Amino acid sequence: MFSDTPVPDLFIHDIMPKLSGNAVKCYLFLNSVFYNGSRDATQADVADRLGISEEAVNESLLELSRVQLITVSDQDISIGDLKMQELQKRYRPISSSSPSEIGQRENQSEEREKIVTLIKMTFFQGIMTFMWYDLIDRWFEAYGFEPEVMYALFQEAANNNRLDGPGYATRIAEDWAAAGVKTYDQLSVYYSRFLEKNRIKAYVGKKLRRSLTEYDLKDVDMWIDEFGFDQGIIDEALSKTRGAQRPTIRFVTAVLKDWHERGLNSLEGVKAYEEARQEDASRFGVKQGVGRDNRDNFSVEESEFDTPMPRIDGHDD
Task: Tell whether 33 and 65 lie within a shared domain.
Answer: yes
User: Of 182, 207, 239, which closes a domain?
Assistant: 182
Q: Distance between CA 153 and CA 276 in Å, rounded?
A: 50
Q: Under 8 Å CB-to-CB from 36, ≥6 apart: which residues?
A: 3, 5
Task: Tell whether 201 and 290 lie within a shared domain.
Answer: yes
Do 81 and 71 form a contact (C-beta atoms < 8 A)? no
Do 229 and 223 form a contact (C-beta atoms < 8 A)? yes
262 or 305: which leads in pLDDT: 262
User: Of 130, 158, 182, which closes a domain?
Assistant: 182
pLDDT at residue 307 tops 80: no
Per-residue pLDDT tens over the stretch 66-111: 888 888 766 667 787 777 777 666 655 545 445 555 555 557 788 9
Do 30 and 77 form a contact (C-beta atoms < 8 A)? yes
| pLDDT for the residue numbered 93 | 54
81 or 304: which leads in pLDDT: 81
Is there a domain that residue 293 lies in? yes
β-pair type (70-72, 77-79): antiparallel
Q: Which of 258, 267, 255, 253 is nearest to 293 (CA)?
A: 255
Per-residue pLDDT tens over the stretch 144-191: 999 999 999 999 999 999 999 999 999 999 999 998 999 999 999 999
Measured in Å, how far apart are the chain's first and last C-alpha atoms?
A: 72
| pLDDT for the residue numbered 213 | 93
Task: Tell whether 155 and 231 lie within a shared domain.
Answer: no
| pLDDT for the residue numbered 80 | 79
Is there a domain that residue 93 lies in? no
Query: Looking at residue 14, what DSSP letter applies?
Result: I
Task: Tell whether 267 and 237 lie within a shared domain.
Answer: yes
Is there a domain that residue 276 lies in? yes
Torsion angles phi and psi, residue 145, rounded to 5: -65, 140
Do 20 and 60 form a contact (C-beta atoms < 8 A)? yes
Task: Tell whether 155 and 178 lie within a shared domain.
Answer: yes
User: Of 139, 159, 182, which closes a domain?
Assistant: 182
Task: Tell whether 126 and 169 lie within a shared domain.
Answer: yes
Do 55 and 43 form a contact (C-beta atoms < 8 A)? no
Is there a domain that residue 99 lies in? no
Across 200-228, average pLDDT? 93
Per-residue pLDDT tens over the stretch 120-135: 999 999 988 888 998 9
Torsion of CA 197, 200, 206, 212, to 10 degrees: -40
Q: Under 8 Å CB-to-CB from 237, ≥6 apart: which residues?
A: 252, 255, 256, 259
| pLDDT for the residue numbered 285 | 65
Per-residue pLDDT tens over the stretch 35-63: 776 556 677 888 888 999 988 988 888 88
Q: Under 8 Å CB-to-CB from 311, ≥6 apart: which residues?
A: 156, 160, 172
| pLDDT for the residue numbered 49 | 87
Q: Per DSSP, what are the bridge partners of residue 77? A: 72
CATH number at residue 76: 1.10.10.10
Task: Tell whether 166 and 200 lie within a shared domain.
Answer: no
E strand or H helix that includes residue 161: none
Task: Tell whether 33 and 55 lie within a shared domain.
Answer: yes
Q: How far is CA 202 from the centre of its chain?
A: 22
Task: Tell whether 158 and 231 lie within a shared domain.
Answer: no
| pLDDT for the residue numbered 45 | 80
Q: How many residues does the chain have?
A: 317
Is there a domain that residue 305 lies in? no
pLDDT at residue 261 tops 90: yes
Is there a domain that residue 92 lies in? no
Apex 156 CA angle, 150 and 161, nearest 5: 125
Task: Tell whether 199 and 281 lie within a shared domain.
Answer: yes
Is there a domain that residue 162 lies in? yes
The whole domain housing 285 covers 193-297
Q: Distance between CA 260 and CA 268 in Å, rounded?
A: 14
Per-residue pLDDT tens over the stretch 278-300: 888 887 765 554 445 444 444 44
Alpha-helical (H) ranges within the chain are 9-10, 21-36, 43-50, 54-66, 82-90, 99-123, 130-143, 147-159, 167-178, 184-208, 214-221, 231-238, 249-261, 267-283
Q: Per DSSP, what are the bridge partners of residue 213? A: 306
Q: Under 8 Å CB-to-CB from 104, ≥6 apart: which residues?
A: none
pLDDT at residue 250 tops 90: yes
pTM: 0.52
Please count the structural domains in the chain.
Answer: 3
Q: What percent of the chain has pLDDT over 90?
A: 44
Is there a domain that residue 231 lies in? yes
CA distances 23 to 27, 47, 208, 242, Å, are 6, 12, 54, 63
Q: Distance between CA 123 and CA 180 in Å, rounded?
A: 26
Q: Distance between CA 163 and CA 123 in Å, rounded?
A: 8
Task: Tell whether 226 and 279 lie within a shared domain.
Answer: yes
Task: Tell whether 80 and 118 lie within a shared domain.
Answer: no
